[in-house]
Amino acid sequence: MEVDKSSSAAAWSQAEVSKTQKYNKVISSLDLTFRDLCFTAGKGTKGKRILHKMSGAFKSGQLTAILGPSGAGKTSLMNILAGLKTTGVEGLVQVNGTERNLKTFRKRSAYITQKDHLLSNLTVNEYMMAAAHLKLGNDVPNKEKKIIIDNVMATLGLTETGRTRISCLSGGECKRLSIGLELVNNPTILFLDEPTSGLDSSSSLQCVSLLREIARSGRTVVTTIHQPSSRLLELFDHLYIVAGGSCMYQGPVQSLVPYLQTMNLNCPSYHNPADFAMDIASGEYGDVLSGLVNGIENGRLIYQESPTPTLASPSLSHDTGFYDEDEDVNMLDGKKNSKAKNKANHKTIDERLIYAAPFHTQVAVLLRRTWRTIWREKMLTMLRFAAHIIVSILMGLLYWRVGDDASVIYNNAGLLFFNQLFILFAAMMPTVVTFPLERKVLVREHLNHWYSLKAYYLAKTLADIPFQIIFPVLYLVTVYLMTNQPMSIERFGMLLCITICMSLVAQGIGLLVGAAFNIQVAVFVAPACAIPFLLFSGFFVNLNAIPPYMSWIADISFFRYAFEGSMLAIYGNDRPPLTCSQPYCHYRYADKFLEQFDLGQSSYYLSVVGLLVFFVLIRVAGYVVLRFKLRHVRS
């Protein structure tokens, strides 16, 4: 689809200035400079120095390419500059001549990852609107959000795709959408990790032209890039070439060949200068790297070819008066200090600084979005629905009318055990399978300050609750009636309550395992972890028969509480004697049967409490794991 991007971009810039001034008081520019940047991966003697005292300057209004052979340190450098990597980093990073305040800097910058992790079931319009709600907050009226979205989409050539689901977009459109989502709140600096990877040459050109337009509107745009064609290379304003963790060239694209000539490295005619530079960086032209690095003083200088070749020192400290939000922050920091004792207040200030939308809006937007995606996961939702119905009918037929017959009372206990087993797997596995993919979306959005992890986690928990209620109800009603369990609302309610608790715990386990592992590992770990809990449930081995040194496993077995609760719901509360279809039935009296399972003294309510405690612990553990994962991405 052909779109006149230059005019739409200009139009957007114009519209953007007028529309966004209200909430972005000043659309200021950010010049990013860094000096003597070192990065060591790992600690102690195992530490590996990746970046060696690199310096450089990336200016606003320019499109900068960080170029270098594989493993040179491009991504490491960009992650450090974007503030994603902080551990093992030494050196100075400045914004407009002032030391970078990471929190405000991250708020004003956006990081677009190489892979476009997007929720495939949403349409472009829905995604953009969710981004606008989260990134612009409640201060911007919906009408203005709509205008901003329309402008961003026009700029990116996405207007025609507004109603298209993400799953149907082309690779180039996905990339443009990823950029568009981050442009919604008008970030001043954009970092893009290999934005052209996976795109064909025309989509790559389209994408880089677009980035150039974005840079022209006053933003600082920094991208890493792999082997650009000469046409693509020409679109960049500023080149920063990394080789072996040092800077071997910094300056305009046109000055690259002349600079290399000064070192007696002549780029053959009709040869792509980027390829030539990559060959040099890879050591194919001998040991010339140190000369190049020294020539540019490891990035302290910018090579300018015209009018006469010069090496200009990047301005590392100039007071432009920009970055007024920093001043706001400093003021707030000051206020914070004065209220040092009030921790909660600090938190509110911090959160307000980071996230545009208040907590409740974040939760509401995420909840809506999650429901929408679940609803549109038609295949999975229908399968879950069908599985509950089919299995319940199967169970009903297999255990036909065993509920009130004392001669098959063990069969009924088996049924109660299997009910919980089915609910465990039916609630756990869909989450185990889907969450590792969703986690990638969370990482991308959270790192770009769309929402807090707390809001995400709460929304995720709340969004799943209706399904953890509806499916057990469907299953249990069918099984209960077909197997002729006692016709008592109270007993049915008790069994249902236990089953719903089990479902919630199981879904929490799915979330925890899905948060901790990738999908291949998670699908093995989740069922494997469930096995010990099943063994110690009291069904296979009586609780009193478990050796004392292993009894603690039974105490922490959530499945034990689910099985116990089910047994007590059906056989507890002074149930009248069961009918007996045989001449003799040993367990006509329910109490006697409970004694057989060592449940004579057990309490139904303790089982419910046990499951609820487990539910809370699992949820907290899931949250902690996710927080750790997000920290790990950042460090």
Ligand X SMILES: Nc1ncnc2c1ncn2[C@@H]1O[C@H](COP(=O)(O)OP(=O)(O)OP(=O)(O)O)[C@@H](O)[C@H]1O
Sites of contact with ligand X (CB under 6 A): 41-42, 48, 50, 68, 70-76, 226
Least distance (Å) between residue 251 CB and ligand X: 20
Cα 128 from Cα 123, distance rounded (Å): 9
Q: Which is nearer to ligand X, 41 or 556 (CB)?
A: 41
**Non-local CB neighbours of 237 within 8 Å, separated by 6+ positions:** 62, 63, 64, 212, 215, 252, 253
Given the complex with ligand X, which of 74 and 108 has the nearer CB atom?
Answer: 74
Pair of tokens at residue 614: 């487990």
Shortest Cβ distance from residue 628 to ligand X (Å)? 16
Report the first-to-last Cα separation within the chain, whole angstroms.
Answer: 40
Distances (CA, A) of 221 to 32, 64, 68, 145, 191: 10, 6, 17, 23, 6
Cα–Cα distance measured from residue 420 to residue 318, given in angstroms and rounded to the nearest whole number: 67
Closest contact distance (angstroms) between CB of 68 and ligand X is 5
Burial class (CB in 10 A: 0-12, 13-18, 19+), 171: middle
Angle of helix 171-183 relative to helix 142-155, nearest 10 degrees? Answer: 140
Q: How far is the CB of 83 from ligand X (least distance, A)?
A: 16
Q: Which is nearer to ligand X, 79 or 483 (CB)?
A: 79
Nearer to ligand X, 68 or 295 (CB): 68
Task: Collect all residues with Cβ–Cβ distance below 8 Å to 373 and sequence separation of at least 6.
Answer: 119, 121, 122
Task: Using alpha carbons only, give the angle 363, 23, 353 rounded to the nearest 5 degrees.
Answer: 55
Our CB check for ligand X shows the closer of 73 and 83 to be 73
38 torsion bin: left (phi>0), alpha (psi -120 to 50), beta (else): beta
Question: Based on CB atoms, which residue is closest to ligand X, 76 or 499?
Answer: 76
Phi, psi of 473 (to 5 degrees): -65, -50
- Output the 3-class SS for 255-282: HHHHHHHHCCCCCCCCCCHHHHHHHHHC
Please state the closest distance from residue 51 (CB atom) to ligand X, in A: 8
C-beta closer to ligand X: residue 48 or 352: 48
Q: Which of 47, 141 has the CB closer to ligand X?
A: 47
* Residue among 43, 45, 116, 114 at smallest CA distance from 79: 114
Nearest CB to ligand X, comparing residues 87 and 266: 87
Q: Which is nearer to ligand X, 32 or 78 (CB)?
A: 78
**Which residue in 323, 238, 193 sits closest to 57, CA to CA?**
238
- What is the closest distance, in whole angstroms, from the C-beta atom of residue 228 to ligand X in the complex? 13
* Residue whose CB is less far from ligand X, 40 or 603: 40
Between the alpha carbon of residue 631 and those of residues 84, 289, 347, 626, 627, the distances in Å are: 9, 35, 18, 9, 6
Query: Could you tell me the smallest distance in angstroms from the CB atom of residue 267 to ligand X?
Result: 22
Do 484 and 396 form a contact (C-beta atoms < 8 A)? Answer: no
Shortest reach from residue 235's CB to ligand X, in Å: 20
* Minimum CB–partner distance for residue 518 and ligand X (Å): 17
> Which CB sits closer to ligand X, 68 or 396?
68
Q: DSSP code of 546? A: S
* Minimal distance, residue 76 CB to ligand X, in Å: 3
3-state helix, strand, coil in the chain (%, to 5): 60, 10, 30
Contact 325, 100 (CB under 8 A): no
Nearest residue to 536 (alpha-carbon basis) of 512, 555, 513, 517 = 555
Q: How far is the CB of 111 from ligand X (least distance, A)?
A: 14
CB of 67 to ligand X, least distance (A): 9
Strands (E), 510-607: none
Is-contact 21 226, C-beta < 8 A? Answer: no
Pick 70 or 202: Cβ nearer ligand X: 70
Residue spans of alpha helices (H) in 137-194 = 142-155, 171-183
Strand partners, 220: 189
